[in-house]
Amino acid sequence: MKFNFRRLIRAPHVTNGTLRNSFDRRTIVVGGIQGGIGCLLAARMTYLSVFENEKYKLKAESNRVNLSLIPPRRGWILDRHGQPLASNRADFRVDVIPERMSDPERTIAELGKLLSLTPIAMQDLQDKLDRSHGFAPVEVASRLDWERFASVSVRLPDLPGVVTQRGYSRFYPTGPSVGHLIGYVGAASAEEYEKDHDPVLLTPGYKLGKDALEKFYEKDLRGTPGARRVEVTASGRIVRDLDTREDVPGKTIKTTIDAAIQDYAARRIGPESAAVVVMDCQTGDVLAMASMPSFDPNSFSDGIGRLEWKMLSDDDHVPLRNKVLRGLYPPGSTVKPMVALSFMEAGLDPNESVFCGGGLRVGNRVFHCWQRRGHGQVNMAKGIYQSCDVYFYHFAQRIGMDPIAAMAKRLGLGQEFPLPVAGQSYGTVPSPAWKLKKYDKQWQTFDTVNATIGQGYFLVNPLQQAIQASRIASGRIIMPRLIHGHEHEKQASLGVPEEHLAYIRQAMSDVANGPGSAPHARLPFPDIKLAGKTGTAQVVGLNVGNGKGGLWKHRDHGHFICFAPADNPRYACSVVVEHGGGSGAAYPIARDVLTYIFDKEKGMEVLTELETKWGGTAKERLDARFRAYSAQYGVGAPKVSPEEERRKLQGADQPDDPRQPISEAQSPAPEPADEADRPAPAPSPTATPATSPGAGGSPQ
């Protein structure tokens, strides 16, 4: 090298000889470099294949073998006769795994075309993608027909991140009827995955329970995922199966529900906002627990779309609240049999009577009977079947609140029950001690007066009312049960003398079958009698509305509790119709449900006729409503933020503060003395005139 430099500086004389010389030297340099590169290559190759062999072997293997979890088939939920309330059906589905998509926009557009998704579905899909967390699969479509499924399957190599699957999806045969009872399933959210790191949650197609039974029994229903090891090509095409481990389906849950009664009850509610509970009053088995309006759990499983969301939140009937467990209502006159029992236990002779002239002065105020004309001479039985308020005003003052509150709790009011549900609002049984603690105020006589007719601070849920009816009917401490298989457990006696119960049952039977307040509640059978009690609970004071007409939100709640057959009780039922305008809205539902239990054909006849009037079954009406919404709003529905959705769903989930009246419209003014300008204080159901438009007279 040095030599060359010198030659350059000296402007060397180049000859053939020097060139030959330089050629020889330079070929040695070139050859040396070539040899060096050869050695480098050999060393590199040795390094890769000997020293890094293990690492690359593993990588080649993980390239070649694809382990995929097979989502386990979810356990079925059966009714007491083995009929499925929730089952699985085979379906074809398409998911995307967002972080594996190379060009999400193009892929999604392509999928939209292949699957012919509507603009609304595309919008919902986009919302889900925006909210997704990369690793978790997002459902594009399920329940596909073979053609559409195949059209995606064959294009998989061009659609990275797209997963097609033949699997199972949850199916609820009766749809909205079981929405609140069973709950629904959905893909795991990031939070749910945080709590439970089961890898099956990330399997495309796996859904976990989001509400009610589905959520409560999640662990049992889940089962064990299967796994499949397959050899795949780079483009994801499966070459062959290496081995497969079958999934273990989740456990079957058999409930005490009777699917037919549940469906009937839900459908019979019709367009009302109502709850119906039917129980076996000998065993405590819950046969039906319907809250309407509801949602279709089938359409919830792929997430709640914007339009669906708008539809549900626009509805003032609160379809997301399970009214059976989370709805709290002043029970109205349905507490009267219970109050009468406490009177008898306190030693009141049932034949002792009081004159009802349409009202009673308590302190400086007159509490009216609903029947302004008065009931004349009223004993206990008449007090119940005619629902005379004055009778209870009068004797409650003598007996006092504490025995009444104790009896209310014995019969299940204000209690929480050990049920596999997501939450119960247990309400309030007011008592002097409670009021002192809660409001730091002394109990007043008018508080007792209010409470005896189920107003004031009294708040119960429909399940408690059904239990109350069951306990009166059976005389035992009936506990509600949702899970089948405990029939042998005989419940202990209430400790209420049988003759007291017989007296009350007879009076309740007279409500429907005798000279009572609800003659139209009579069952259409000569030999089966229904015993019941009506109730009308005011939600606003009379200065706002009369409770019958006007704003829906201002109308009275309608209640009815009953059991049948009256002489040998088997079934107990409670009905609450929110803002139904009085008990006249409630007892026809109870009557028809019981009719259906005893005679399916007769019951169905009534329902079919009603449903023609309403425009189809609950599911048909829900679907029609959705169609109307999609025609009206299209993709214009506002986006629902995940926080808002969570808040609303949990809002419906969590019980209202049980110590607070359910709404601002809750009528009974706890301090009537302060409202001197109001002659007829809210607590007394003064506004049930005989001219009420309610069906079947104006029962109270």
Partner 1 sequence: MSRSIVPEAISRQPWQMIIPLCGLVGLGAAVLYSAAGGSLQPYALSHVVRFCVFLVMAMVIARMSRNLFRMAAYPIYGAILILLVLVELIGAVGGGSQRWLNLGFMSLQPSELMKPAIVLVLARFYETLPHAMTASWRGLVPAGVLIGVPALFVLIQPDLGTATAVCFGGVVTMFLAGLPLWWFLGAGGAMMVIAPIAFFTLLHDYQRNRVLVFMDPEGDPLGTGYHITQSKIAIGSGGIFGKGFGNGTQSHLQYLPEPHTDFVFATMSEEWGLMGGLFVLFVFTVVIGWGMGVARRAPDRFSSLLAAGMTATMFFYVMINLMMVMGLAPVVGIPLPFMSHGGTSMLTNMICLGTIMAVNRWNQGRGSLG
- Residue 98 beta carbon to partner 1: minimum distance, rounded to whole angstroms: 15
Helix axes 336-345, 401-410, angle to 10 degrees: 120
Contact 478, 487 (CB under 8 A): no
Helices (H), 615-700: 618-633, 642-653
Question: Which among 72, 411, 419 has a CA at the least distance from the CA of 257?
Answer: 419
Cα–Cα distance, 435 to 437 (Å, whole number): 5
3-class state of residue 344 by DSSP: helix
Written as one letter, the residue type at 222 is: R
Please identify, using beta-carbon distances, which residue of 22 and 153 lies nearer to partner 1: 22
- Residue 578 beta carbon to partner 1: minimum distance, rounded to whole angstroms: 56
- Residue 228 beta carbon to partner 1: minimum distance, rounded to whole angstroms: 17
Please identify, using beta-carbon distances, which residue of 44 and 438 lies nearer to partner 1: 44
β-pair partners for 276: 290, 575
Please identify, using beta-carbon distances, which residue of 52 and 349 lies nearer to partner 1: 52
Please identify, using beta-carbon distances, which residue of 34 and 377 lies nearer to partner 1: 34
Local structure of residue 439 (DSSP, 8 states)? H
Please identify, using beta-carbon distances, which residue of 61 and 243 lies nearer to partner 1: 61
- Structural tokens at position 307: 């339009």
Q: 375 phi and psi, to 5 degrees?
A: -105, 0
CA distances from 274 to 38, 178, 406, 417, 575 (A): 86, 14, 28, 21, 7
- Residue 45 beta carbon to partner 1: minimum distance, rounded to whole angstroms: 5
DSSP, residue by residue, 341-407: HHHHHTT--TT--EEESSEEEETTEEEEPSSTT--EEE-HHHHHHTT-HHHHHHHHHHH-HHHHHHH
Let me know if 424 is exposed, middle or buried by CB neighbors in 10 A (0-12, 13-18, 19+): buried
Please identify, using beta-carbon distances, which residue of 48 and 676 lies nearer to partner 1: 48
Please identify, using beta-carbon distances, which residue of 5 and 527 lies nearer to partner 1: 5
Instruction: Identify the helix (H) or strand (E) that includes residue 238.
Output: strand 238-245
- Residue 156 beta carbon to partner 1: minimum distance, rounded to whole angstroms: 14
Please identify, using beta-carbon distances, which residue of 1 and 631 lies nearer to partner 1: 1
Cα–Cα distance, 34 to 195 (Å, whole number): 61
- Residue 423 beta carbon to partner 1: minimum distance, rounded to whole angstroms: 46
- Residue 67 beta carbon to partner 1: minimum distance, rounded to whole angstroms: 15
3-state helix, strand, coil in the chain (%, to 5): 45, 15, 40
Rounded CA Rg of the chain: 36
Please identify, using beta-carbon distances, which residue of 145 and 243 lies nearer to partner 1: 243
3-class state of residue 444 by DSSP: coil
Local structure of residue 616 (DSSP, 8 states)? S
CA distances from 3 to 13, 20, 32, 574 (A): 14, 15, 19, 113
Q: 408 phi and psi, to 5 degrees?
A: -60, -45
Contact 258, 302 (CB under 8 A): no
Please identify, using beta-carbon distances, which residue of 230 and 695 lies nearer to partner 1: 230
- Residue 6 beta carbon to partner 1: minimum distance, rounded to whole angstroms: 11
Cis peptide leading into 293, omega within 30 of 0?
yes
- Residue 121 beta carbon to partner 1: minimum distance, rounded to whole angstroms: 29
DSSP, residue by residue, 81-96: TS-EEEEEEEEEEEEE
- Residue 39 beta carbon to partner 1: minimum distance, rounded to whole angstroms: 9
Please identify, using beta-carbon distances, which residue of 46 and 660 lies nearer to partner 1: 46
- Residue 29 beta carbon to partner 1: minimum distance, rounded to whole angstroms: 9
- Residue 163 beta carbon to partner 1: minimum distance, rounded to whole angstroms: 17
- Residue 265 beta carbon to partner 1: minimum distance, rounded to whole angstroms: 55
- Residue 53 beta carbon to partner 1: minimum distance, rounded to whole angstroms: 5
- Strand stretches in 505-589, DSSP E: 531-537, 557-564, 571-577
Let me know if 628 is exposed, middle or buried by CB neighbors in 10 A (0-12, 13-18, 19+): exposed
Q: 213 phi and psi, to 5 degrees?
A: -60, -40
- Residue 239 beta carbon to partner 1: minimum distance, rounded to whole angstroms: 7
- Residue 26 beta carbon to partner 1: minimum distance, rounded to whole angstroms: 5
Please identify, using beta-carbon distances, which residue of 235 and 442 lies nearer to partner 1: 235
Please identify, using beta-carbon distances, which residue of 28 and 690 lies nearer to partner 1: 28
Please identify, using beta-carbon distances, which residue of 64 and 131 lies nearer to partner 1: 64
Cα–Cα distance, 161 to 159 (Å, whole number): 6
Please identify, using beta-carbon distances, which residue of 27 and 663 lies nearer to partner 1: 27
Ramachandran assignment for 24, one of left (phi > 0), alpha (psi -120 to 50 degrees), beta (any other): alpha
Cα–Cα distance, 156 to 165 (Å, whole number): 12
- Structural tokens at position 2: 């040095």
Question: Which among 573, 350, 627, 612 has a CA at the least distance from the CA of 462?
Answer: 573
Question: Which among 399, 397, 388 has a CA at the least distance from the CA of 357?
Answer: 388
Please identify, using beta-carbon distances, which residue of 3 and 355 lies nearer to partner 1: 3
By CB under 8 A, name the binding residues for partner 1. Answer: 1, 4-5, 7-8, 11-16, 18-20, 22-24, 26-27, 30-31, 34-35, 37-38, 40-42, 44-46, 48-50, 52-53, 55-57, 59-61, 63-64, 102, 231-235, 239
- Residue 241 beta carbon to partner 1: minimum distance, rounded to whole angstroms: 14
Please identify, using beta-carbon distances, which residue of 231 and 599 lies nearer to partner 1: 231
Cα–Cα distance, 74 to 207 (Å, whole number): 9
